[in-house]
Amino acid sequence: VIAACGMGVHTLGPVELIAGLRMEATDVESSGYLLEDDQIVGVSNEGDYVSWLPSVLANWNVTENLIVRGSVTRALGRPDFDDIAPRASYSEELGNGSLSVGNPELEARMSWNFDASIEWYPNDLTLLSAAVFYKDIEDDLVGLSERYTTAADIEAALAANGLAGAVDTSILTE
């Protein structure tokens, strides 16, 4: 990840405005192994993307003891390394198989974040505050679970992920 950012602050009487912009260029390279025609074959995948993350914050000193704050920001959350590696793991328990497959083409989830708060300082030792926020998440990263009950369905799913022949489905009971 290569990042660059800039920020500016401007005061208009009792209002302080803070604006910023962060750019992150992400380059992902991953590698793993697949079974092809009874041979273990090394595979690799790579991708890149650029994220622009603006932010604007405002602090309004309504009075000496009352402050109103608000912000709009853009954020990202990257997938875990295990989730993007081009590899698969298989486990079996009591005749039931479980296959986990990574997806090297996953990109970061993005969100717009909206925050607002009000703070009241009645004296030097007391603070009363209330805050609200809203987060709009795009492209959230969630795991996908599918259940296959026949050997033919399992073999088709394995083949679709480049894992044909990786599991002997004839021994599975469910």
- Per-residue pLDDT reduced to its tens digit, 90-143: 777 776 667 677 777 777 899 999 999 999 999 999 999 999 999 999 988 776
Per-residue pLDDT, 34: 67
- pLDDT of residue 89 exceeding 80: no
Per-residue pLDDT, 58: 98
Per-residue pLDDT, 173: 59
- pLDDT of residue 144 exceeding 60: yes
Per-residue pLDDT, 40: 76
Q: In a 10 Å sphere around its CB, with 0-12 CB exposed, 13-18 middle and 19+ buried, how is residue 150 labelled?
A: exposed
- pLDDT of residue 165 exceeding 90: no
Per-residue pLDDT, 112: 97
Per-residue pLDDT, 145: 65
- pLDDT of residue 20 exceeding 80: yes
Per-residue pLDDT, 39: 75
- pLDDT of residue 174 exceeding 60: no
For the segment 30-82, what is each residue's pLDDT rounded down to a tens digit? 777 766 667 777 777 777 889 999 999 999 999 999 999 999 999 999 888 77
Per-residue pLDDT, 92: 72
Per-residue pLDDT, 44: 75
